[in-house]
Amino acid sequence: MIPKKSLYAMAKALEGLPVLGSLAGTPAARAGIRYGDILLEVNGRRTTTMIDYIQARDLRADGMDVVVFRAGEQQTLSLTYDGGDPAEPAALLAEVVTMRIGPIDGPGDDEPQGSS
């Protein structure tokens, strides 16, 4: 498994968002999104920031097509929502937490989250 610090560095270099995992049974997990992926595109748009991610995912109401960088190559995965309105703030927050997407400049393995 790639160390978290290396994952953040690679995401920064690729101008994508690091994925820290996905919760079992969620749309992200069913689509195959997992720890170590770097989210590059959602619905045909680059995702260099969380704002980019939010705007791109709002282009479709039924799910999203994502491009991730994994094991040296790009892969396209399709994610279908379970239902509800993912545009609601609480649903969007739950989705981001479920996909465990981290900021590009996140903490390293030796730096506790929440420290400055």
Domains (ranges, CATH) in the chain?
4-99 (2.30.42.10)
- Ranges 1-5, 67-71, 80-84, 107-111: which has the least confidence: 107-111
Whether the CB-CB separation of 69 and 55 falls below 8 Å is answered with: no
pTM value?
Answer: 0.73
- Using one digit for the tens of pLDDT, what is the confidence trace for 97-109? 766 776 656 555 4
Q: Tell me the two tokens of residue 107.
A: 């903490």
Q: Tell me the two tokens of residue 3.
A: 């160390």
Strand partners, 70: 73
C-alpha dist (Å) from residue 30 to 26, 99, 112:
6, 11, 30
- Among the ranges 64-68, 79-83, 111-115, which has the highest mean pLDDT value? 64-68
- Using one digit for the tens of pLDDT, what is the confidence trace for 7-50? 999 999 999 999 999 888 888 899 999 999 999 999 999 999 99
Mean pLDDT within 86-100: 68
The mean predicted confidence, pLDDT, of the chain is 83
Whether the CB-CB separation of 82 and 27 falls below 8 Å is answered with: yes
**Contacts by 48-51, CB closer than 8 A, 24 or more apart:** 48/15, 48/16, 48/17, 48/104, 49/17, 49/104, 50/17, 50/96, 50/101, 50/103
